[in-house]
Amino acid sequence: MPSYRYQVRTARGETQVGVLAAENAATAAGLLRAQGHHVLGLTPLAQGIDRGALLAKLKELNSGRVTMKHVLDFTTQLAVMVRAGIGIRAALEGIAEQTEHARFRQIITGLKTDVESGKQFSEALSRHPKLFNPLYVNMVRASEMSGSFGKMLDRIAAYTAQQIETKKMVVGAMIYPGIIATMAVGVTIFLLTFVLPKFAVVFRGKEDVLPWATTFLMELSAFVRNQWILLLLAVVGLGVGFVVFIRTEVGSVWWDKVKLAVPLVKRMFRALYISRSLQTMGELINAGVPMLDTIAITGDISGNVLYKRLWRDVYSAVKQGKKITQPLQQSTLLPHAVVQMIGAGEESGKLGEVLDEVAQYYAKQLREAIKAVTSMIEPIMIVVMGSVVGFIAMAIILPIFKMSQIVR
């Protein structure tokens, strides 16, 4: 039975390719349409293994997931091409041809197909919510209505670039202490499993004269060596359980509260959530997005359940005809000075400009907080690691001195 390579658009608007065996092309097209697909292309294949399709599939699997960096590059290229006077369909086609990421190329091709079928570009973007969030879609929709598509794409690219940079800074601040903690745990395990057992032979039969620290470490060393499988399973189980817990509603609230309560990192996370919320809100207001939509999107993008609840309260208040600052004044998540500036911007009609300035200030505060966290974590981790190693060394050396005195 002959095989056909097909390209279809699914009911979700996604473009898919694959190989289908059928008696003829008409039968193959009928089977695809019966599955609810719109057939874009159907090519007969020679008998045997389709190496081209196999290699294409392997390349797609190895290309990894689509990241925000891909979205940023796409937005930047599209903005340049639109400002140069190139039509949206031609621009999408050109970007798709230059995109090396197989999965993202399919998405761009799907966007082009949707635009060609008469859909608005914002509607085509909304079919891919994991890549193009509500802020992206609503800013594009607003630009379609105002006719400032090219400038709006520049604003979106700048916003996306800043969010990527912010995420890199926060993740980078967490990587260093993670490495130090891993080294500390590794050194401790090495001492317990390889070094201490060497001294067990020396201390054997002298348990009565050993200090409590040495006895404790010897028993701990024996337990780690004999029950390492159980310990490994327990650590993995705790890790998986923690991840599952913080993904629940109760766990996510607890975890977001912890991030805003731990003295060492609460300033960093507070600045992160405030700058992200206010920058998002300012961008949407300046883009001309309706206020209720702006507040709803701000809550979804804030990144913290507590801030999301706060913006939901603001949404309800504004929907009832109240001012933005009324629910904000009752919360401790935003500083009083920030609420006052938001109120002043609301009264003067320059809320977007005020939010941009406050967001820039807190972006600077975030960078300073990250520097402070990294500078404080380094000595703390060194002290902790030195204390652990020093305790183990003391537990080994003290009994040796004590036994030498007994011999004398």
pLDDT digits 0-9 by tens, 153-203: 888 888 888 888 888 887 877 777 778 778 878 888 888 888 788 777 777
In a shared domain, residues 138 and 247: no
How deeply is 234 buried, as exposed, middle or buried, from its count of CB atoms within 10 A (0-12, 13-18, 19+)? exposed
In a shared domain, residues 120 and 240: no
Distance, in Å, from the CA atom of 95 to the CA atom of 46, rounded to the nearest integer, reads 31
Residue 244: its pLDDT value, please?
A: 93
In a shared domain, residues 225 and 150: no
Residue 54: its pLDDT value, please?
A: 47
In a shared domain, residues 52 and 178: no
Q: What is the pTM of this model?
A: 0.68
In a shared domain, residues 223 and 156: no
Distance, in Å, from the CA atom of 16 to the CA atom of 36, rounded to the nearest integer, reads 12
Last residue of a domain, one of 136, 161, 186: 161
Edge-first strand order for the sheet with 3-9 is 15-21, 3-9, 38-45
Distance, in Å, from the CA atom of 94 to the CA atom of 92, rounded to the nearest integer, reads 5
> ∠ CA(179), CA(182), CA(188), 5° rounding?
140
The CATH code of the domain that includes 86 is 1.20.81.30
What phi and psi, each to the nearest 5 degrees, are found at residue 17? -125, 155
Q: What own/partner pairs with CB < 8 Å and gap ≥ 24 does 128-132 have? A: 131/66, 131/71, 131/107, 132/71
Q: Cβ(111)–Cβ(121) under 8 Å? A: yes
Structure tokens at 408: 């004398």
Structure tokens at 133: 């969030």
Q: Cβ(7)–Cβ(40) under 8 Å? A: yes
Residue 55: its pLDDT value, please?
A: 52
In a shared domain, residues 173 and 144: no
In a shared domain, residues 56 and 73: no
Residue 61: its pLDDT value, please?
A: 46
- Residue position matching structure tokens 């919510």: 129
Compute CA 222 distance to the chain's CA centroid, rounded to the nearest angstrom. 41
Residue 49: its pLDDT value, please?
A: 43
Residue 407: its pLDDT value, please?
A: 52
In a shared domain, residues 265 and 408: yes
Last residue of a domain, one of 44, 62, 80: 62
Residue 238: its pLDDT value, please?
A: 93
In a shared domain, residues 157 and 170: no
Residue 241: its pLDDT value, please?
A: 93
In a shared domain, residues 271 and 360: yes
In a shared domain, residues 303 and 340: yes
Q: Counting every residue, how long is the chain?
A: 408
In a shared domain, residues 98 and 210: no
Residue 258: its pLDDT value, please?
A: 92
The range of the structural domain enclosing residue 32 comes to 3-62
DSSP 209: G
State the total domains in the chain: 3
120: helix, strand or coil: coil
Residue 62: its pLDDT value, please?
A: 47
Last residue of a domain, one of 126, 161, 196: 161
Q: Which residue ranges of the chain lie beneath pLDDT 50? A: 47-50, 53-54, 58, 60-62
